[in-house]
Amino acid sequence: MAKSLIIEPLLKKEDLARKCRPKKEAIIRSKGNSKSGRRPLLNKRQLRRLKKVLKNPPVDGGNWTSRKVANYMSQLSGQHVSIQKGWFYLKNNLNS
């Protein structure tokens, strides 16, 4: 006895979009207004201080490097700061 196959009709593009839209909107809503997550490494006062310090040459001379910025941020925050994070703050805060 042969098994009968049930073949579902292909969905049209509009039907597929309508079917997926509510899920997509729910995902966007859930990501957009959330205040959860990690606290910033530096608070607003520390960030202002870092921006002010970066406008001048470092104490040891030369140019600001990601390592120097990371070390300074470690002193400000009391936490270990990676060289990559130092680069991120150096790149984003020198231009502002």
In this structure, what is the dihedral angle of CA atoms 7, 13, 15, 20, given to the nearest 10 degrees? Answer: 100
Tell me, what DSSP letter sits at residue 37?
Answer: S
Cα–Cα distance, 94 to 63 (Å, whole number)? 12
pLDDT per residue, tens digit, the chain (96 aa), is 556 566 556 666 666 666 665 555 555 554 555 566 788 889 999 999 999 999 999 989 899 999 999 999 999 999 999 999 999 999 887 655
pTM: 0.59
Kind and range of the H or E run holding 19: helix 13-32
